[in-house]
């Protein structure tokens, strides 16, 4: 990799002068199922016999010398041309003064309750947006060099677009993004917080409050990195862009949705070298420290299932087959139990027609498959039988199927390897003595990258058409008449979208000549991590494994800007118990480790400098 990433120095260890005091930390990412670790340990004994009876033994070469092509790694990447500046920033960010200043910056941001809600009225109409003006004034005050040296445009009033113009306009810019808004604090949860949710309280170890981990740590981290580079006289060669939406927690249409339009106009399709947004971080998994940049993101589809039929007095009920409430109950049970994650079996074909595959199996082309290969290759405590099974799944369909079955035992891993569906809303009827004239359910789908919105819609149609026939209902699905009973129908079964559907995101390349941005990111992650472990004589090795984002970030609006999109937060939290494993994100007691936050800033500085001098982006 050294020759491919020229213009930068690679090394297993950072320069000795960059050693910084730290403690080793662990964080759970989307791929770290605590319950699965216990389960795999138990299962490994079973698989020892299975490998002999069903597979005739797994290839031992996978256990002794796994191919690096399965999970390619680059060395830590340190700035070369900007080496002196990088060393200076390392010393600066290691100081107690810098840490205290960074804590104050984040705490101040947390103290401004920039909450976004579902179904808010447009900017300028709904007064709940006004708090973002206060937040902007805060940013202008605490980041004076950023606001004096970068171009700032406000899009749709509260969207922030910063541009730090580089000296070489032929180089593609890089985009760092985060969101200003936070999820509201539940009105009845105030007493459950260790420290008030908008206090920004620092207890000597952690900063507490809504937004501290999602996502003001990213926003303040990016701006602090830029402010620090400006303080040291840096002028970028490659343009650096920062864009901050303000309603990510409520779909992102007003913020990133509008920002994307102007960014596309300014930089053009595929006009950015790469994009980094919030996402997974670092975790100790099977004895190995692993960083999980998300290079894919699931699609999204909400389907309304509606049943209607004539009502009446409950004292004279119709046959059950004519009751919309009864039909809906069967529909919901079918959705919940018959095929709830699309990856064990498909519904029975209707009238001899084939049913589309909606990511029914773990695919070798999928990002989760790459992740598991990395864990098998580098996970030091992964049970040998499981490691062999994962390795064998590269070529053996039977091993692949067995692996899928094992992963399906854990709900977290199960959600990663297939399209999921969840019945989230069910309603019907208005009075205990009146037959319901309408009943409906809302079903949420998270769509795997190998599937599509159309495949999931078709799957729903195939799954529910037998029910329409069973209950003698006319069936209309997504604006198309599917079936009409030969006799007068008892009612209607309708499927429709609740809101705009989202296709799965394009997958960012992680291998081959077109994967240079992923390599630069990986090397920068390792360099930032190494700066903390060196001073502690910590010999742990960080590996980088691509992963998939189950939720959706503001990057859903940025697909046209770059084929290289990373959802990564460099979180590396310390000693959290299972109940706090996600730093209280979207719930009570949201907080972040202060040393962790400083490392996040250092990561952004490292990546900005590496990208600035890279000749391969």
* DSSP one-letter string for 73-108: ---EEEESTTHHHHHHHHHHHTSHHHHHHHHHHHHH
HSE of 525, CA atoms in CB hemisphere, 13 A: 31
Percent of the chain scoring above 90 in pLDDT: 62
Residues in CB range of 288: below 8 A, 6 or more apart: 375, 378, 379, 380, 381, 540, 541, 543
Q: How much is the pLDDT for 143?
A: 98
The answer to whether 392 touches 59, Cβ cutoff 8 Å, is yes
321: pLDDT confidence band, cut at 50, 70 and 90? low
DSSP letters spanning 255-269: THHHHHHHHHHHH-T
Tell me: do 463 and 338 sit in the same domain. Answer: yes
Distance CA(521)–CA(533), nearest Å, equals 19
Residues in CB range of 581: below 8 A, 6 or more apart: 27, 28, 34
Specify the DSSP class assigned to residue 515: G
Q: How much is the pLDDT for 336?
A: 58
Residue 597 maps to a domain: yes
Q: How much is the pLDDT for 539?
A: 66
Tell me: do 316 and 279 sit in the same domain. Answer: no
Distance CA(23)–CA(373), nearest Å, equals 28
Structure-model confidence comparison of residues 475 and 353, the more confident one: 475
Please choose, from the candidates 111, 100, 140, the residue with its C-alpha nearest in 3D space to the C-alpha of residue 208.
111
Domain containing 462 — which CATH number? 3.30.70.360
Boundary (domain end) residue, out of 463, 497, 531: 497
The answer to whether 272 touches 206, Cβ cutoff 8 Å, is no
Distance CA(220)–CA(244), nearest Å, equals 11
| pLDDT at position 345 over 50 | no
Tell me: do 443 and 312 sit in the same domain. Answer: yes
70: pLDDT confidence band, cut at 50, 70 and 90? confident
Of 202-216, 354-368, 513-527, 589-603, which gets the smallest average pLDDT?
354-368
550: pLDDT confidence band, cut at 50, 70 and 90? confident
| pLDDT at position 38 over 60 | no
237: pLDDT confidence band, cut at 50, 70 and 90? very high
HSE of 122, CA atoms in CB hemisphere, 13 A: 4
Mean pLDDT for all residues in the chain: 83
Query: Which whole number is the average pLDDT over 145-160?
Result: 98
Structure-model confidence comparison of residues 150 and 307, the more confident one: 150
For every residue of 535-568, which 3-state class applies, written as one string? Answer: HHCCCCCEEECCEEECCCCHHHHCHHHCCCEEEE
Q: How much is the pLDDT for 488?
A: 80
Distance CA(404)–CA(381), nearest Å, equals 20
Tell me: do 94 and 222 sit in the same domain. Answer: yes
Of 17-31, 134-148, 192-206, 590-604, which gets the smallest average pLDDT?
17-31
The answer to whether 154 touches 133, Cβ cutoff 8 Å, is no
Residue 214 maps to a domain: yes
Residue 155 maps to a domain: yes
Q: How much is the pLDDT for 317?
A: 76
Strands 240-245 and 174-179, by their bridges, are parallel
Domain range for 202 is 83-118+125-285+547-613
Site of tokens 């960074």: 102
Q: How much is the pLDDT for 358?
A: 43
Could you report the per-residue pLDDT of 6-19, keeping only the tens digit for each?
333 333 333 333 33
Distance CA(495)–CA(484), nearest Å, equals 15
**How much is the CA Rg of the chain, to the nearest whole Å?**
26
Tell me: do 259 and 307 sit in the same domain. Answer: no
Q: How much is the pLDDT for 534?
A: 62
| pLDDT at position 353 over 50 | no
Distance CA(521)–CA(611), nearest Å, equals 9
Please choose, from the candidates 506, 515, 604, the residue with its C-alpha nearest in 3D space to the C-alpha of residue 559.
506
Query: Which whole number is the average pLDDT over 156-180?
Result: 98
Residue 504 maps to a domain: no
551: pLDDT confidence band, cut at 50, 70 and 90? confident
Q: How much is the pLDDT for 199?
A: 97
Tell me: do 204 and 342 sit in the same domain. Answer: no
Domain containing 185 — which CATH number? 3.40.630.10
Q: Contacts for 46-55 with beta carbons within 8 Å, 24 or more apart?
A: 47/383, 47/385, 47/386, 47/388, 47/389, 48/385, 50/385, 50/402, 51/385, 51/388, 51/389, 54/398, 54/402, 55/392, 55/396, 55/398, 55/399
Distance CA(272)–CA(262), nearest Å, equals 13
Tell me: do 247 and 309 sit in the same domain. Answer: no
Q: How much is the pLDDT for 191?
A: 87
Q: Which residues are annotated as a binding site for Zn(2+)?
A: 179, 214, 249, 277, 586
Give φ, ψ of 346 to 5 degrees. Answer: -100, 160
| pLDDT at position 206 over 60 | yes
Tell me: do 327 and 187 sit in the same domain. Answer: no
Residue 388 maps to a domain: no
Catalytic residues: 181, 248
Distance CA(400)–CA(390), nearest Å, equals 7
424: pLDDT confidence band, cut at 50, 70 and 90? confident
| pLDDT at position 309 over 60 | yes
Tell me: do 431 and 558 sit in the same domain. Answer: no
Q: How much is the pLDDT for 322?
A: 55
Residue 389 maps to a domain: no
Tell me: do 578 and 475 sit in the same domain. Answer: no
Q: How many domains does the chain have?
A: 2
Query: Which whole number is the average pLDDT over 580-603?
Result: 86
DSSP letters spanning 434-500: EE-SEEEEEEEEEE-TTS-HHHHHHHHHHHHHHHHHHTTEEEEETTEEEE--SS--SEEEEEEESS-
Tell me: do 163 and 247 sit in the same domain. Answer: yes
**Sign of the CA dihedral running 188, 189, 190, 196:** negative
Of 113-117, 274-278, 353-357, which gets the smallest average pLDDT?
353-357
Tokens at 317, concatenated: 């009920």
The answer to whether 212 touches 108, Cβ cutoff 8 Å, is no
The answer to whether 287 touches 542, Cβ cutoff 8 Å, is no
Query: Which whole number is the average pLDDT over 231-244?
Result: 98
Tell me: do 209 and 320 sit in the same domain. Answer: no
Q: How much is the pLDDT for 284?
A: 87
Helices (H) and strands (E) in the chain, counts: 16, 23
Residue 532 maps to a domain: no
355: pLDDT confidence band, cut at 50, 70 and 90? very low
Boundary (domain end) residue, out of 459, 479, 497: 497
State the alpha helices, DSSP H only, in 128-233: 131-142, 144-149, 216-231
Q: How many CB atoms are closer than 10 A to CB 479?
A: 9
Structure-model confidence comparison of residues 325 and 91, the more confident one: 91
Boundary (domain end) residue, out of 437, 466, 497: 497
Strands 299-308 and 491-497, by their bridges, are antiparallel
Residue 253 maps to a domain: yes
Please choose, from the candidates 562, 563, 361, the residue with its C-alpha nearest in 3D space to the C-alpha of residue 450.
361
Percent of the chain scoring above 70 in pLDDT: 79
Of 99-108, 178-187, 321-330, 523-532, which gets the smallest average pLDDT?
321-330
Distance CA(452)–CA(120), nearest Å, equals 29
HSE of 125, CA atoms in CB hemisphere, 13 A: 5
Of these ranges, 285-294, 360-369, 463-472, the one predicted with the greatest mean pLDDT is 285-294
Please choose, from the candidates 247, 219, 261, the residue with its C-alpha nearest in 3D space to the C-alpha of residue 561.
261
| pLDDT at position 543 over 70 | yes
Query: Which whole number is the average pLDDT over 240-248?
Result: 98
């Amino acid at each position: 990799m050294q020759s491919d990433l020229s213009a930068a120095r690679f090394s297993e260890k950072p320069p000795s002068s960059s050693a910084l005091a730290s403690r080793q930390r662990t964080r759970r990412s989307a791929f770290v199922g605590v319950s699965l670790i216990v389960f795999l340990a138990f299962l490994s004994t079973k698989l020892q016999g299975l490998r002999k009876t069903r597979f005739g033994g797994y290839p031992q070469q996978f256990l002794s010398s796994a191919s690096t092509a399965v999970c390619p790694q680059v060395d830590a990447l340190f700035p070369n041309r900007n080496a002196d500046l990088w060393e200076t920033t390392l010393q600066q960010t290691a100081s107690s003064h810098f840490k205290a200043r960074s804590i104050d910056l984040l705490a101040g941001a947390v103290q401004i309750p920039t909450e976004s809600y579902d179904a808010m009225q447009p900017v300028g109409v709904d007064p709940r947006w006004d708090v973002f003006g206060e937040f902007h004034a805060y940013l202008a005050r605490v980041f004076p060099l950023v606001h004096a040296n970068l171009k700032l445009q406000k899009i749709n009033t509260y969207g922030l677009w910063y541009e730090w113009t580089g000296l070489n306009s032929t180089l593609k810019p890089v985009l760092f993004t985060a969101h200003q808004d936070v999820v509201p604090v539940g009105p009845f949860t105030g007493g459950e917080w260790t420290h008030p949710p908008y206090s920004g309280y620092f207890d000597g170890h952690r900063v507490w409050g809504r937004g501290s981990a999602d996502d003001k740590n990213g926003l303040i981290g990016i701006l602090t990195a830029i402010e620090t580079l400006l303080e040291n006289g840096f002028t970028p060669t490659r343009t650096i862009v920062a864009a901050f939406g303000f309603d990510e927690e409520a779909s992102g249409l007003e913020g990133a949705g509008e920002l994307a339009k102007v960014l596309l106009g300014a930089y053009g399709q595929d006009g950015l070298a790469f994009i980094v947004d919030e996402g997974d971080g670092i975790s100790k998994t099977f004895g190995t420290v692993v960083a999980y940049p998300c290079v894919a993101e699931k699609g999204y589809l909400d389907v309304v299932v509606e049943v209607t039929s004539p009502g009446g007095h409950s004292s004279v009920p119709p046959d059950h087959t004519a009751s919309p409430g009864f039909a809906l109950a069967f529909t919901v049970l079918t959705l919940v139990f018959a095929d709830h994650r699309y990856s064990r079996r498909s519904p029975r074909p209707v009238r001899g027609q084939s049913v589309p595959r909606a990511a029914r199996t773990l695919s070798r082309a999928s990002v989760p498959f790459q992740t598991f290969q990395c864990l098998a290759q580098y996970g030091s405590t992964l049970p040998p039988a499981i490691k062999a099974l994962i390795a064998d799944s590269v070529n053996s369909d039977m091993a692949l199927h067995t692996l899928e079955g094992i992963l399906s035992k854990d709900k977290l891993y199960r959600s990663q390897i297939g399209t999921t569906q969840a019945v989230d809303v069910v309603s019907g009827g208005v009075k205990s003595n009146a037959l319901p004239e309408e009943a409906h359910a809302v079903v949420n789908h998270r769509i795997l990258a190998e599937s599509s919105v159309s495949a999931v819609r078709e799957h729903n149609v195939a799954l529910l058409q037998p029910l329409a026939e069973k209950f003698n209902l006319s069936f209309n699905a997504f604006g198309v008449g599917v079936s009409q009973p030969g006799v007068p129908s008892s009612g209607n079964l309708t499927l429709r979208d609740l809101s705009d559907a989202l296709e799965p995101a394009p997958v960012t390349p992680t291998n081959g000549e077109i994967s240079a941005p992923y390599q630069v990111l990986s090397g920068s992650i390792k360099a930032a991590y190494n700066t903390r472990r060196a001073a502690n004589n910590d010999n742990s090795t960080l590996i980088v494994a691509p992963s998939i984002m189950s939720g959706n970030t503001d990057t859903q609006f940025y697909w046209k800007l770059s084929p290289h999109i990373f959802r990564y937060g460099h979180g590396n939290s310390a000693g959290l118990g299972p109940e706090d494993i996600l730093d209280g994100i979207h719930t009570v007691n949201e907080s972040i480790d202060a040393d962790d936050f400083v490392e996040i800033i250092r990561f952004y500085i490292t990546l900005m400098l590496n990208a600035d001098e890279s000749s391969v982006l």
